Structure formats: C-alpha cells, structure tokens
A = this chain, B = another copy of it.
Amino acid sequence: MLDKSQGTREVIRQAAERLFARKSYGAVSMRDIAGAVGIRQSAIYNHFPSKQAILADLMVTHMESLLDAWEEARLEDAPPTERLANFARFHIAHHFDQATAVFIAYMELRSLEEDNFAAVNAMRRRYELAVRQILADGVEAGVFQVPDVNVGARALIAMLTGVTTWYREGGRLSRETIAEIYVEMTLRSVGLETGAGRSLCSTRP
C-alpha cells in the first residue's frame, strides 16, 4: 500500500505505472492495481472510467511533461552542435528521472486503443520533429554529416532511449558520466569531432 497523502487518484497512477512497467499492461489486472494501493478494485472506478483510461492518462501525461520540459530546455538560437548536445543531455536526464514512464510510453503503444494511440503518437512525432530540425539546420550549416535527417533523428532517439533498458541505480557509472558518453556518441554520429579524449571509462569488452 502506497502513501495516500497525495490523493488516491495519484496513488493509483503511480501504482499502475510501476505494475505496467514490470508486468506489462495486459498482465496487470484492476485487482492488482487496487491491491497495491490498498483499496478494492471497484473503488478505482471513482477515479478512472476504465483500465484503458489509466494507461492513456499515464502516456498522455508523460508526453505532455516531456514536451513541456523540452520547451523549457531547448536552446533556440544556439548553433546546431550546441543544440544537439543539449538535446542529448536533456533526453538522457529526462529518461533517468522518468524511467518507468518512458519505458511504458515505449513498450505499451500497442496497448492503446485507436484514439488514444493517435493522440500519443501525434505528441511523439512533435518530439521527433525537434530533433529532425536540429539535424537539418546542422546539415544546412555544413557542420553535420547526416545521410538522412528522418532516419537520423529516429536512430538518435532510439540510441538515447535505449539507456532505460539497462540503467540501474547504483551501477558502475554515474548518471553524469553516462550522459556524457551518450552526448559524445551522438555528436560523433553526425560527423563531429568532440573535445573529449578517448576512454572516459572502460575499454575492455
């Protein structure tokens, strides 16, 4: 049973997020969620009209907070290299902070019903566009070498998002170190030399 001081609705959200991430949407029942919250299954329906509505709420809220945070963090007038490094750092940091929400947003797109999927997917595309724009500006300025900005943007986002599948608190590397590794690989992948020398960390396979 979780702390209820934040309001039952929020506790349900958090319990569902944790359970969906660990066992997948299809494998989690309303009873599971209610059990984690410390209420009966039927009480959930005072806060959400359906199980699908919980998932949609988690994913829409997550995408909104991602887009809002990016609106704050983006550098509008900086040169492309700086903007790309800033994006990579932002994306990794956000994914550390919101690991389970990100995981769900990635893995449970299939579980969204049509309308919910359309809404979430539109927001995903908006985020992707931000990266495409940076890459395109860098190519136009002659500082990036990217064979295709659409594929390039997706490739970069996939690379950076992958961190959630293996990062665990208290591992060998600090968050900051991991972020800098990804920033460096991101910049190199568009053809930039980076200031960083070799071997920030381990070079053994």
A contact set with B: CB distance below 8 Å: 22-27, 107-108, 110-111, 129, 132-133, 135-136, 139-140, 145-159, 161-163, 165-166, 173, 178, 180-182, 184-186, 188-191, 193, 196, 198-205
- Contact status A155-B147, CB under 8 Å: no
* Smallest CB-CB A-B distances: 7 pairs: A26-B26, A158-B162, A132-B205, A159-B159, A189-B189, A136-B205, A26-B27
Q: Is the interface of A mostly helix, strand, loop or mixed?
A: helix
- Contact status A202-B107, CB under 8 Å: no
Residues of B within 8 A of A201 (CB): 147-148, 150-151
Residue from B24, B132, B145, B156 within 8 A of A111 (CB atoms): B24
Residue from B150, B151, B156, B181 within 8 A of A148 (CB atoms): B181
Docked Cα-Cα span, A146 to B204, in Å, equals 11
- Contact status A149-B25, CB under 8 Å: no
Docked Cα-Cα span, A22 to B110, in Å, equals 7
